[in-house]
Amino acid sequence: MLTIALPKGRIAEETLMIFSEIFSGAFTFSGRELIMEQHGFRFLNVRNQDVPTYVEHGAADLGVVGLDVITEKRLEIIDLLDLGIGRCKVAIGIRNEETLDWNRPDIKIATKMVNITRDYFARKAVGVEVIKLYGSIELAPLVGLADAIVDIVETGNTMRENGLKIAEDIMDSSAHLIANPNSYYAKKEEILDLHEKIAGVIGDA
């Protein structure tokens, strides 16, 4: 049996719809259920940021997680497939009336994604002070905590509503199917069979 960790919410629902299409059955978590078994798969309903932890430690063979999380956490996992769902960007946001001055020696960036931010600014040879926040990132430039933010942007509405604009895109992201390396080697036939079926469905979409 393959155990698959899914991030609570829309991405889990869209992933389970793919399973419904492949295996012609109802794949839904009922109520506050955390484990659901269906068609020989065990699904775990976990927080988005926890998906890689379940997969990396082998509590789940597979998981669905954003490319941004894979990049940020520098995971030792196998990246099986871009599912093409949950598309978003990681972008630099600044106040509407400002421009990002790359010549400043001390840019302060507020973000949840410390590694992606450090790597991006390092590649541009720009010194940066990264301030780690856990939520409401858009607030930071509005109250002078930071000059800019690095955050996930889906529609851009949250930034717009808070008087911010995108200064630069860092990377595109979408949900990927990942595997624990040891599970992949030990259960390769089952995992690649599932990979093929999912690729067929998202290829047809």
Partner 1 sequence: MIFAHEIPAGSHLYSGEAARTKRTIESRAAEVLSAQGYEEIVTPLFSYQQHENFADRRPLIRLNDADNHEVSLRADSTADVVRIVTRRLGRSTQTKKWFYIQPVFTFPTTEQYQVGAEVIDGEFVDVTRTALALMETLDLHPLVQIANMAIPKLLSEKYGVALEAIEVMHLDTILASGHPWIESLVHIQHPRDVQNLSLYPADLAAELSRMVEAAGALEREDILFSPLYFARLRYYDALVFRLFADNTVLATGGTYTVDETNAAGFALYTDACITQILQKDTHG
Residue 185 buriedness (CB in 10 A; 0-12 / 13-18 / 19+)? exposed
Q: Residue 55 or residue 110: which is nearer to partner 1 going by CB?
A: 55
| Cα 1 from Cα 190, distance rounded (Å) | 9
Pairing of strands 148-153, 88-95: antiparallel
Q: Report, in this order, helix, strand and coil percent for the chain, each rounded to 5.
A: 35, 30, 35
Query: Whole-number minimum distance, CB 102 to partner 1, in Å?
Result: 27
| Cα 88 from Cα 166, distance rounded (Å) | 13
> 3-class SS at 104?
coil
Q: Residue 95 or residue 195: which is nearer to partner 1 going by CB?
A: 195
| Cα 117 from Cα 130, distance rounded (Å) | 8
Displacement of CA 127 from its chain's centroid (Å) = 26
Query: Whole-number minimum distance, CB 74 to partner 1, in Å?
Result: 10
Interface contacts to partner 1, rule CB under 8 A? 57-58, 78-82, 180-186, 188-189, 192, 195
Residue (of 24, 171, 29) closest to 92 by Cα position: 171
> 3-class SS at 136?
coil
Q: Residue 137 or residue 175: which is nearer to partner 1 going by CB?
A: 175
Query: Whole-number minimum distance, CB 142 to partner 1, in Å?
Result: 34
Query: Whole-number minimum distance, CB 144 to partner 1, in Å?
Result: 30
Query: Whole-number minimum distance, CB 197 to partner 1, in Å?
Result: 14
Q: Residue 78 or residue 166: which is nearer to partner 1 going by CB?
A: 78
Q: Residue 117 or residue 180: which is nearer to partner 1 going by CB?
A: 180
